[in-house]
Structure 1
Amino acid sequence: MAKKEPNTRLRRRKQRTRRVLKTIMVLGLISFVLLGALVGYFAWKFTTVAADTQETLDRGEKSEKREVAVDPNQDNISVLFMGVDDRDGELEGRTDAMILATFNREQGSVKMTSIPRDSLVSIPGHGEDKITHAHAYGGTDLAIQTVEDMLDIPVDYYVKLNFEAFIEIINALDGVEVDVPFAFTEQDSQGNHGAISLQEGTQMLNGEEALAYARMRKQDPRGDIGRGDRQEEIISALIRRSASIGSIHKYDDVLESVEDHMKMNFTVGDLVSFHKYAGSVGDINKLQLEGSDVRYDGVYYYQLDPASTEQISQELRTHLGIEDETVSEDKNETTQAESP
């Protein structure tokens, strides 16, 4: 019997090893299936949300400033992000935030400019007024047309969110971290004055606090410019937060919120194409529209500086790869005039 004991121990060890391997294989298979199901679920959810939130423009699939419709997989494009002052869930009313971004496919780069809501512009069919009123007068199409006329560039795509989406998305991600430059109080999303109080310093903001931080203007010595910077800071913080691995389990809540409170003219394929720009998110080139505070008939406006507006227009057009025919013609005329 003594001679058989080592073989018995060896068989037992082999049996235990096989059981462990089988257990690992079974657990691995279960994990693989669960992961596949999770990925499949999010793919289905993403596709469903994209379809439910998609809304075409009256103008059709291309801007009047384009000869043909663009393809994000191949072309440089522009996107107008709009935050709508809406409490009824209809995505109507004035725009509290307008941020225009251009994406250069070859460079993989992004340029962004925040348009102050009180900017005095020409709104087609309504004369000169604050740009915030364009959406209230004629919805998404008129807001886009106004921005196109102001900056002389095509707006290819848009994303429109209301207050509810903004709040719920940030809450679903457990808040965003920002550096509050000074203490202030602001109304909440229901219009209750002084309901939100923020102290100076770096802190984590919930949805209501982040909305107040993005909306406040009168207590900021830089007015609309300061608010534009804070809105861009919130967007950057939100992108960083949503990109972290720890936020993956929150995506379902985010998608549920977005589905009910957002509209866009992107398809699922369009959205997937933005993966190329993932590395550029933290290094967005921000352009500032300069101007001055004015009052006409007692009403406050932000008077855009023509030279600054033209400079940013040229920079965005160059980033989009659009040849400026006016500049080319002027150069040709100058060259001909100087020729003997």
Structure 2
Amino acid sequence: MSKRKKWTLIIAIPLLLMIIIGAIYVNYLYNKTENMVTDSQEKVGRENETSELRSKSVDPVEDNVSVLFIGVDNSEFRDEEESRSDALILASFNKQDSSVKLLSIPRDSYVYVPEVDRYTKINHAHFFGGPRATIETVENFLHVPVDYYAKMNFEGFIEVVDSLGGITYDVPYEIWESDSNDDKNSIHLTPGEQQLNGEEALALARTRKYDNDVERGKRQQEILKTIANKAISASSVFKVGETIDAIGNNMTTNLSFENMKNFLSYGLDENITIETMNLSGDGGYMEDGLWYFHVNEESKHDIRAELRNHLDLEENVETSDFANDEENNNTY
């Protein structure tokens, strides 16, 4: 055998083995993800599983769609099914522009909750009726359809960050915060860019003592973007299996495996843009002695118009079927 053939074999055999191993790994991850999504399935419980604000069913392949991300507290001191949502982020996806808009909804927002036919904090909706009641409340509040949802508990958030080896984040100020077991001041972070583990990232995402609900929402958006960037980085390729386990054990969603595959086009597009949005307003104590965040009506209307436009829906909304927006302006 000539030297040239020998060197060809020396190079080709390892390369072939890497391709085979890569194919096996990809197939393994594919099957693992499919099983994870199947096990996490939980329908909303509405007619044809379609929003009442839609004239027909939608498909992420062909349509602009929305996903509501619900973060719930499931520490040992709380039952997840009767817990309040601690984070609500509504994402709209536009196929034509390859763009995503992320709206953080303050957890103490004073809104009408259809499930109990009264006004209260938006995070109470999950306590009264889980994802279905939360989706109905968000749709009534914004008059924007919620096509899909994904609910994850805090344990899942922690495990996802840890499975990725932590995240690098620029902490804005010194914080002392409880961990997921409610151990007071067990998390201490100093200002500056640093590596955060799951518990530390959760504490930073949850804290409200150092600014306000709006700033907290912005921080959550940035942390989620940081986690997403870490997850799709080359350094995380062989950590995907652990991440899938972390998600699957702690998530419920009405997204099917086919739906999720259809969102890949956004992640694979190098020109994708992600814009964060926030509602403005102010807060105070009301007659019941509780503190509420009152969303500015003009801000809400502007956000509503922008989201509906991003979903390619008519901007003019018939509000006769919804609770009166003006009641949100009750004095306090």
Shared fold by TM > 0.5? yes
1:209-232: per-residue Cα shift (whole Å, max 9, x none)? 000000000222xx1011101101
User: Which of structures 1 and 2 has the bigger CA Rg?
Assistant: 1
Q: Which residue identity lines up with residue 309 of structure 1 in the other structure?
A: K
Q: How far apart are the structure 1 equivalents of 2:193 and 2:19?
A: 40
1:163-188: per-residue Cα shift (whole Å, max 9, x none)? 11000000011111111111010000
Alignment of 1:107-118 (within 5 A): 107-118=97-108
State the SS of the aligned residue for 2:132.
helix
Alignment of 1:50-69 (within 5 A): 50-59=37-46, 60-69=48-57
1:182-203: per-residue Cα shift (whole Å, max 9, x none)? 1010000001110101101111
Q: Equivalent of 2:110, from 103, 120, 136?
A: 120
Change (3 A) 1:249 1:35: same
Alignment of 1:28-39 (within 5 A): 28-39=15-26
* 1:15 shift after superposition: 4.1
* 1:240 shift after superposition: 1.0
Q: Which residue identity lines up with residue 25 of structure 1 in the other structure?
A: A
Alignment-derived partner of residue 168 in structure 1: 159
State the SS of the aligned residue for 1:103.
strand
2:227 corresponds to 1:242 = no
Contact 1:108/1:280 (CA < 8 Å) preserved in 2? no
Q: How far apart are the structure 1 equivalents of 2:6 and 2:270?
A: 48
State the SS of the aligned residue for 1:193.
coil
Q: Equivalent of 1:147, from 116, 127, 138?
A: 138
* 1:20 shift after superposition: 3.5
Change (3 A) 1:325 1:311: closer
Paired-residue identity, % = 39
Q: How far apart are the structure 1 equivalents of 2:252 and 2:271?
A: 22
Q: How far apart are the structure 1 equivalents of 2:279 and 2:192?
A: 27
Q: How far apart are the structure 2 equivalents of 1:177 and 1:248?
A: 17
* 1:294 shift after superposition: 1.4
Q: Equivalent of 2:262, from 265, 273, 288?
A: 273
Which deviates more, 154-163 or 28-37?
A: 28-37
Alignment of 1:146-295 (within 5 A): 146-220=137-211, 223-278=212-267, 279=269, 283-295=273-285
1:27-74: per-residue Cα shift (whole Å, max 9, x none)? 233222211111111111111111111211111421111111100000
- TM-score normalised by length of structure 1: 0.88
Which deviates more, 197-206 or 87-96?
A: 87-96
State the SS of the aligned residue for 2:263.
helix
Where do 5+ consecutive residues of structure 2 fail to align?
319-332
* 1:19 shift after superposition: 3.5
Contact 1:91/1:161 (CA < 8 Å) preserved in 2? no
State the SS of the aligned residue for 2:24.
helix
* 1:21 shift after superposition: 3.0
Where do 5+ consecutive residues of structure 1 fail to align?
1-13, 328-340
Contact 1:184/1:199 (CA < 8 Å) preserved in 2? yes
Change (3 A) 1:196 1:326: closer
Q: How many residues align?
A: 312
Q: How far apart are the structure 2 equivalents of 1:243 and 1:308?
A: 33
Change (3 A) 1:326 1:131: closer
The structure richer in helix per residue is 1
State the SS of the aligned residue for 2:70.
strand
1:261-311: per-residue Cα shift (whole Å, max 9, x none)? 001111122112222322478732222111111111321000111111111
Change (3 A) 1:82 1:206: same
